[in-house]
Structure 1
Amino acid sequence: MNSSSEHKPRPMVDLVVSVILPSLILMKFSGDDALGVTGGLVVALSLPLGWGIFELVKYKKFNFIALLGLVSVLLTGGIGLFELDNKWLAIKEAAVPALIGIAVFVSTFTPYPLVRALLLNSSIMDTELIKQKLEENNSTELFEKKLMTATYFVVGSFAFSATMNYLLAKWIVVSPAGTEAFNEELGEMTLYSYPVIAIPSMIIMMGIFFYLLRTIRKATGLTLEELMVKK
């Protein structure tokens, strides 16, 4: 069996490897009596980087967002190791979600809108049946308008993430790169970004998904059970 079909989300493992452990290393093991400033930064950043590469290689699925995450980690490492000005960290933190938001919006002008791929996934929903019912009920145009509204909501959620990332970085990381204090502040920022940014963003995305789900049910007349792919 292809390993990609066996992949199951592991949010707690992702959280521990990508957020909690790197934060602890940066805050507690970056002193001269432990890993040192450079060693602590390299070890902390290698965890989410290594985990992301492992997920991509093992399950053989190209994931644009995961790729941006890997680029983000590399840029953070570069800012710390090359001791660049702190403003670049804040810009980088805002740039990643901003780029995703821009990609989502631009994709609506292509044959492959990202929102359709993310929220109307054929592995979860019976897309063929949905399409058939929309045509039968003359609701295709209405649904496309609602899908565009969902797109604006998604873009807005990434704009929220970009703004909060920038503000959090500017507020917490104030020490020069290449110092123990910088590593500690980077760890704090990583730790705080989950409850301050990630959880609200997840709630927003869930709200958008349920908005689209309700729209589909009204436009097609299908029940929730009928909408889902039969396992």
Structure 2
Amino acid sequence: MSRSTKLTLDIVLGAVVPVLILSYASRPLGSVAAYILAALVPVAWVFIDLLFITRRFNAITAFTGAGALVSGLLAFWFVDGALFALKDTAGIVLSLLIFAITMLAGRPLIKYFVVQALDPDTPERAAALDALIAERRVQRAFMAGTLVVVAVYAVLAVVNFYLNLNTVVAPFGSEEFNQQVARVNAITRIAFPLPSIIAISASIWLAYRALYMLLPSEEGKSQFESNFWRLVELRDAGPNT
């Protein structure tokens, strides 16, 4: 599946379809049934993607799967008012906690994102990358990047809670409740992924920058024009190569 097709399906099944179900299916299906269906469609899509399309288990898929599992379980917690605002914010808070706890434990999640992206495909490359990652400069970059991500998720959590608290005011099980949830979802499910993607991308860039600062350059090329593993080989070979 091409990236453009995958992105389109992510948007359609993760945002558009749930909003349409909440907006137009509450009367024919019943408000509660429509609410559950709208909540489970994006969850089902995540697991279909992980199990049948991506078919890989790594830090990124584990992070995505954990978020989907929590969303699926919370779909059956029928609440309104402040509890609903808290429930709808739980996924963002979970992401924040995962990044924060892994950082405090000295194993920042960003590290595993970077390792997955660089894909050390031999024991020698894995050992060389481990040595680079152990450098203090790289560890500081992981910590700084994680702080950026945690800060962004904290802001998103506050905004999401506020939006739900002030928009979703009808009682659960009513058609009006579903309409109000659809209104919030139309904003958050489209707008919120962007700052989180930017934050994670920025944190990965900080890590890459720290890694490249430890590597030599090929003559006549900037470091980013060279293959990462070629530069690692030059570093390991020493200054006489």
Do both proteins adopt the same fold according to a TM-score greater than 0.5, normalized to the shorter chain? yes
Deviation of 1:141 after TM superposition, in Å, equals 1.6
Q: How many residues are treated as equivalent by the alignment?
A: 214
Mapping for residues 37-116 of structure 1, pairs under 5 Å: 37-58=31-52, 59=55, 61=57, 63-79=62-78, 84-110=79-105, 112-116=107-111
- 1:3 corresponds in structure 2 to none
- 1:11 corresponds in structure 2 to 7
Mapping for residues 147-226 of structure 1, pairs under 5 Å: 147-221=142-216, 223-224=223-224, 225-226=226-227
CA RMSD of aligned residues (A): 2.9
CA offsets 1:146-167 (integer angstroms, 9 cap, x no match): 2211121122122122122212
Where 2:208 maps in the other structure, the secondary structure is helix
Is the Cα contact below 8 Å between 2:19 and 2:182 reproduced in 1? yes
CA offsets 1:11-31 (integer angstroms, 9 cap, x no match): 211111111011011012212
Structure 2 residue corresponding to 1:24, chosen from 20, 24, 35: 20
Deviation of 1:8 after TM superposition, in Å, equals 6.5
**Structure having greater relative contact order (Cα 8 Å, sep ≥ 6):** 1
Is the Cα contact below 8 Å between 2:145 and 2:202 reproduced in 1? no
Deviation of 1:116 after TM superposition, in Å, equals 0.6
Is the Cα contact below 8 Å between 1:90 and 1:165 reproduced in 2? yes
Q: Point out the structure with max Rg over C-alpha.
A: 2
Is the Cα contact below 8 Å between 2:93 and 2:157 reproduced in 1? yes
Unaligned runs of 5+ in 1: 1-5
Return the alpha-carbon distance in structure 2 between the equivalents of residues 221 and 190 of structure 1.
48
Higher mean Cα deviation, 14-23 or 34-43?
A: 34-43
Is the Cα contact below 8 Å between 1:164 and 1:197 reproduced in 2? no
Q: Sort the Cα spacing of 1:65 and 1:189 in 2 relative to 1 into closer, same or farther, 3 A.
A: same
TM-score by length of 1: 0.78
CA offsets 1:49-88 (integer angstroms, 9 cap, x no match): 3222323433263623322223223313432xxxx23211
TM-score by length of 2: 0.75
Deviation of 1:131 after TM superposition, in Å, equals 4.8
Is the Cα contact below 8 Å between 1:17 and 1:47 reproduced in 2? yes
Task: Letter of the 1:206 partner, please give it.
Answer: S
Task: Letter of the 1:75 partner, please give it.
Answer: L
Is the Cα contact below 8 Å between 2:26 and 2:178 reproduced in 1? yes
Return the alpha-carbon distance in structure 2 between the equivalents of residues 195 and 226 of structure 1.
35
Q: Percent sequence identity over matched residues?
A: 21
Deviation of 1:37 after TM superposition, in Å, equals 1.1
Deviation of 1:109 after TM superposition, in Å, equals 4.5
